[in-house]
Structure 1
Amino acid sequence: MAEQRRRLDPAARRLEIIETAERLLARDGETVRVEDVVAAAGAAKGTFYHYFPTWDDLLDALRTRTFEHFDARYQLPTEVDGPIDWMRVLDELAAAFVGFTLGQERLHDVLFHSDFARRRPLPADQNATIRLAAVIRAGQEAGVFAGLDPEPTARLLFAVLHETADAVAEGEDCERSLAALQVVLRRALAARPEEGSAQ
């Protein structure tokens, strides 16, 4: 078995380390160390540092992988096949975020709420609020969403999304929580005929 492991090509060996770390971090969170990963992957410590000079480099790779998986699974629609139901897109994106966050288990906190997250802030292309703001803008252009400032609105709505995921993780009923989330998001973003007039 050891001989077979030594013959893994570099890309496969690197992926093996990433997948092992992902599994351990999801289960055990911030207690996981390099020694745990290499032992579970059947790799040498030197091999780990060959691919990931620091622990943060590994976490960076895991975070990038997380976004790649989310993007591959939940692609935003285009208008090639006709008009888009932006309210439905919003509902699906919100449910996808909650489900995806819960599926990461303890890995989510390591990647997004630990010292690592403070040391290495998210690049713009991995920032969930920037993505949400883009959806809001698209819905506004279609005349479906209210004329709110997209960036601060996205930040506030992302906080609601995150709180929903936290509540479900703590035992709240998922279906009930998602239904309430849908109502909040729709009421916040729905364009009104009287928009801009005195309320």
Structure 2
Amino acid sequence: MSTFHSITVRAEHKTLFPLLREGFDILAGSGTSLQSLLGEDLGLSGEVLDSACATVFLDGHPVDDLETARLRPGCRLALSGAMPGVCGITMRRHSPVGGMRSGIALADEAEEDDTPDAGEGSCRVLLFNLALNQAGPAFLEHGVLVEAARLLRVDPANVAGAELDGEAVEWSDLLRGLDPQRIVVVRTAA
């Protein structure tokens, strides 16, 4: 796997939300359960999982059980708060009318997954409504993979400082020195 520049930004989480709005990648172990990623790795509480992640799609399939849904390299994960209307109720995790979507729901992978662990890979993440506001900060603290050109969308007036691969750097110098096509890991300072 190629190496990525690591960029740590000292700013409020909302300053970096423009990086999250179009989707981003994360590095995760193949076969990791969504419960492990969201609850253990990112530290999201059960309350946040129930509200901000009430609707979960993995590779286009609605997910009910976060423990049995497994990440694979190249997968796409969409998280959203509860969506309105009949469609929203139907797609919500543990919906009383979830049976109406049984043909498209993610199959239980806990016992089916006998493939060897392929190591670490990237997963594309999309956050909508409450998930952006409530889970976005945890993803930023964990580190997200984005194209360096997307850093131009961050308002420099709200950046208190930055580090590139552990070395302090001015935000303007950072932006000038990076190849805009390069993928970088961006995280907020703890």
Using structure 2 for the length normalisation, give the TM-score. Answer: 0.22
- Bigger proportion of residues as strand: 2
Larger helix share, 1 or 2: 1
**Which one has the largest radius of gyration?**
1
